[in-house]
Amino acid sequence: MSSIFETLNNLSKPLLLSKGAPKIRIDDWTFRLHYRLTALLCILFSALVCMKEYIGDHIKCVHMQEDEGTDPIIPKKVLETYCFITTTFTVPYNSATSLMKMDYKTSTMLGGPGYIEGRNEKVFHAYYQWVNVYLFLMGVLFAIPHVIWKAVDDNKLKNLVQELNVPELPMGKSMKSKQVIMLADYIVKSTGTHSAWAMTFLFCEFLNLLILGGLCYLTDLFLSKEFSTYGIKVLQFLEGDPEDRSDPMADVFPRVTKCDLSTYGPSGSIQRFNALCLLPLNVINEKIFTFLWFWFVAVSFVSLGGWIYRCMTLLSTRIRCQSLGVDSYKTVVKQLTTSDWVLLHLLRQNLDQITFDKLLYLVDEQL
């Protein structure tokens, strides 16, 4: 668990190379899209939801009074805490059960005016208590494949690359040439010994895709099965006629809801009170999940396309050569195993084209 939080602590590090010795890359950009950008966005959104100074109180409820000028029957803070903990609800308009003729859009937004006890359906909204926790957990889950891969790699790529990714070595070109020769010698002598290491990398790539799909499904359940079509409905809302359109964001994240509270009166009878509650937090939540819907769709296409391309490279020697940018070394790629190609692919992420071409030339000479 500590390694996961260490990863999350480093999410804000720039993706580009820093000054001096470049950072060793143990994966490619599609992999980093998950554990850096997507995880970072989830953590930032979780922090945003917790920033009370920017969005105010999470809930504000209209409190009841016996007469004007008197103290509330139920203290306002008590009422708001109760409603926040026990969840609030809205009442979708139903012409068959309601005695009031109203616009459907208005009834959802105003917390269910026209509600008749026992006759109208209640739609409870409990998710807003857990949005910040859920977003944080999503960020942690997106970081898990990287944590697994980093533990399995165990600085293997760093030890192989050493200082070959530095444009100009302080020791000069001769030392760099010696390091390239040593690396080529290692690749030839260790051919076929990287299977477990390479399979872990491919598994973690696929795990990224599985986690993304699983979180899309869990988010749909979290939002009462409204997330799967949420982005499409938002687009339809933006393109629709302002007089006829219904706001899907207000349906999923209502700003105004109702809350029922029952207490015992002086004689022991049950007294029922209802309150109208404002949820300022939902103004932020609706924007967050709208962005996440489109972001998840984009990342899904990129990740799925990347995984399909990865499968094609595993099956086709020609595509492997194209992915490495070395069409002139097809013989080398054909003689090496799949696990060896994964090693070359990750080495290519850290070496410039001239150094990588020289490495393949030396490998070709020894095979």
Q: How many CB atoms lie within 10 A of CB 21?
A: 11
| Contact assessment for residue 188 and residue 366, using Cβ atoms and an 8 Å cutoff | yes
Confidence (pTM): 0.81
User: How many CA atoms lie less than 13 Å away from 252 in the CB half-sphere?
Assistant: 26
99 burial (CB, 10 Å; 0-12 / 13-18 / 19+) is exposed
- Does a structural domain hold residue 54? yes
pLDDT the model gives residue 16: 38
Residue 189 lies in a domain: yes
For residue 26, being part of any structural domain is answered with yes
Report whether 346 contacts 353 (CB < 8 A).
no
Nearest CA-CA partner of 87 in 137, 123, 133, 114: 123
**Range(s) of the domain holding residue 62:** 2-87+126-366
State how far Cα 252 lies from the chain centre.
Answer: 20
Alpha carbons 43 and 132: distance in angstroms, whole number: 9
> What is the residue-wise DSSP string for 80-110?
HHHHHHH-EEE----TTT-SS---HHHHHHT
* Position 121 in a domain: no
Q: Residue 35 is encoded by which pair of tokens?
A: 């554990």
Residues of the chain with pLDDT under 70: 1-21, 52-56, 64-72, 93-120, 166-174, 242-245, 265, 268, 326-329
* Coil/strand/helix, residue 74: coil
Task: Look at residue 112 and tell me if it is in a domain.
Answer: no
Q: What distance in Å separates the CA atoms of residue 313 and residue 335, rounded to the nearest whole number?
A: 15
Does 10 map to a domain?
yes
**Digit-coded pLDDT (tens) for 115-159:** 556 556 777 777 888 899 999 999 999 999 999 999 999 999 988
* Tally of domains in the chain: 1
120 is a domain residue: no
pLDDT tens per residue, range 99-122? 444 454 444 444 444 555 655 677
Which residues neighbour 44 within 8 Å (Cβ) at sequence distance 6 or greater?
none
DSSP code at position 71: P
Q: Is residue 142 in some structural domain? A: yes
CA distances from 225 to 23, 128, 218, 219 (A): 42, 15, 9, 8
